[in-house]
Amino acid sequence: MAVNTLHPEPYLALIVEDDPDVRALAGALLEETPLEVVEVDSAEAALDLLQERGGDIAMMFADVRLPGKMDGVQLASAACKLWPTVRIVLTSGDPGTQLDDLPECVTFMPKPWRGLDVLVQAEKAIHHPQPPVT
């Protein structure tokens, strides 16, 4: 992969949400930031994008419940290990969501989330990326 000279810092926001309305709302919010928004509907699609462009991704905003073999917690765990500088925000509207397995690198935001909270996380992703694991 060629070095991206136009965007030397991570500049993508990855939204992983199976509900098209919620995905569109999060996308519309994040389009108000300097981040380019990419939307997918499954953890598998998110992993494909991370493998292709992981170094470009500043933030991943994902639902806990996703279709397919992998849920949002599993996706976040993999992303924390393989792409440690990505700021990861998990969200869920299910009050019974088990958060015991949540990696330390993840911020949890219950649904319904406030747009301002999402934008604050985007600002952190842009200006204060997660430190790489040494």
- Structural domains present in the chain: 12-127 (3.40.50.2300)
128/134 Cα distance (integer angstroms): 17
* Structure confidence at residue 115 (pLDDT): 95
In whole angstroms, give the CA distance from residue 23 to residue 39: 7
The pLDDT mean for the chain works out to 89
The DSSP secondary structure of 33-73, one letter per residue, reads SSSEEEEESSHHHHHHHHHHHGGGEEEEEEES--SSS--HH
> pLDDT digits over 27-57, tens only?
999 999 999 999 999 999 999 999 999 999 9
Task: Evaluate whether 74 touches 50 at the Cβ level (below 8 Å).
Answer: no
